[in-house]
Each structure stands twice: as C-alpha cells, then as structure tokens.
Amino acid sequence: GRLDDLQKLRKSLETLIHQVDALSGIASSFSTFAKMPLPKNELMNFKAVVTRVLDLFKNDEKVDLIFQDDSYTDTIPIMGDEKLFGRVVSNLIINGVQAVEEGKTPQIKVWLWMTEQAVFLEISDNGKGIPEELRDKIFIPNFSTKSTGSGLGLAIAKSGVETAGGKIWFETNFGKGTTFYLTFPIAT
C-alpha cells in the first residue's frame, strides 16, 4: 500500500542522500588529484553495478527513468573499480536530472548494450544541453556548471574510467539534452 511506497521512497532517498554525502566527502578530500587513491583494477560485473544504481533511482517519482537493456546477459565482466564506477554512473544520472530546467520532468534514458569486445552505457537527459563555451571544460578538475560542488565529479570519473582502459565522452544538443557515453573493454 501507500505506506510501503513511502517507505520504499524513503529508503531510496536515504541511499541517495548517503551517496551524495559520500560524493561530496570524496570531492572535498581530493584537494588535488595527486592525493587520489588509485582506483582498484579488479574483475567485476558491470551489469550488476548499473542495475544497483538504477534501483536507487527507480522509485523516484520526480524522475522519469527509462532503462533499455540490450545486453541480454546478467554478467558483463570488465576490469575496474566497482565502487568508483557505481559513483560515476549515479553521478551521470544526477547530472542529467540537474540539467533539466525547473518545472520540466527530467527524462533520463539509460541504454546498456554490448559487442563481443566492449560494453557501452549511454545516459541521455532532456535537459538544457551544454553551451558551446563549456563543452571542452566538462572534464577539467574544479570545473562545475553548478554553483555548489567542487566540480571534481567528472574529472575523477574520467580519470577512473581511463585508468581501467575505458572511455567517457558526451554529445550535446543545446536546448534538447545531453548524452554521456561510457565504454569498457570486456574482460576475457
């Protein structure tokens, strides 16, 4: 019933708040990249990470989250840092939600697909898009389009993803939205 829903919502909000706290804690403790702990590079299941992150958001009525899963498997083995990648994916979703102007429901599309060699995750929003003059700054440490936050989020994301042999990039349409792409080689 309604109470269950409320408890579910509270639980996912608490998890989210906990995550955001963890993120800002991480950001503030990284005054420089030099002090950054090296990401782990272990065999992990990328699909499990994505699913876990999506579970955090799926009870949020304020966000229209669409997950298109074309991976057709429960296990997507990659090398990397499970915690870090979980943060990267949730960060990209939160960024997408925050890119949407007031009064408009954020619609976040998450598309997971793979080839024999690689896995791809695309996260699209229906936000304002990234203005031209900011596009080449998105991954620079200490850059943030938001007034709060250290702006380390995407710089850390990029460095963690690239350490693991992956890539992260984006395409944006001003006024229409932005898509972030993540790809990792499949571990064999």
Taking the C-alpha atoms of residue 167 and residue 169, their distance in angstroms, rounded to an integer, is 7
Q: Give the pLDDT confidence score for residue 74 in this predicted structure.
A: 95
pLDDT at 150 over 50: no
Banded model confidence at residue 24, pLDDT cuts 50, 70, 90: low
Burial classification of residue 92, based on how many CB atoms lie within 10 Å of its CB (0-12 exposed, 13-18 middle, 19 or more buried):
buried
Q: Where are the domains of the chain?
A: 2-185
Tell me what the mean pLDDT of segment 93-102 comes to: 90
Q: How far apart are CA 123 and CA 44, in angstroms?
A: 21
In this predicted structure, the answer to whether residue 43 has a pLDDT above a threshold of 80 is yes
Distance, CA of 51 to CA of 49 (rounded, Å): 5
For 107-136, what is the mean pLDDT?
A: 94
Answer whether 143's CB lies under 8 Å from 156's CB. no
pLDDT band at 61 (very low <50, low <70, confident <90, very high): confident
CATH architecture of 2-185: 2-Layer Sandwich (3.30)
Question: CB of 78 within 8 A of CB of 120?
Answer: no
Q: Predicted confidence band at 142 (pLDDT cuts at 50, 70, 90)?
A: low
**Residue 183 pLDDT exceeds 50:** yes
Whether residue 56 contacts residue 19, with contact meaning beta carbons closer than 8 Å, is answered with yes
Beta strands in the chain (DSSP E): 42-45, 64-70, 77-80, 107-114, 118-124, 167-173, 177-185
Does residue 149 surpass a pLDDT of 50?
A: no
pLDDT of 31 above 70: no
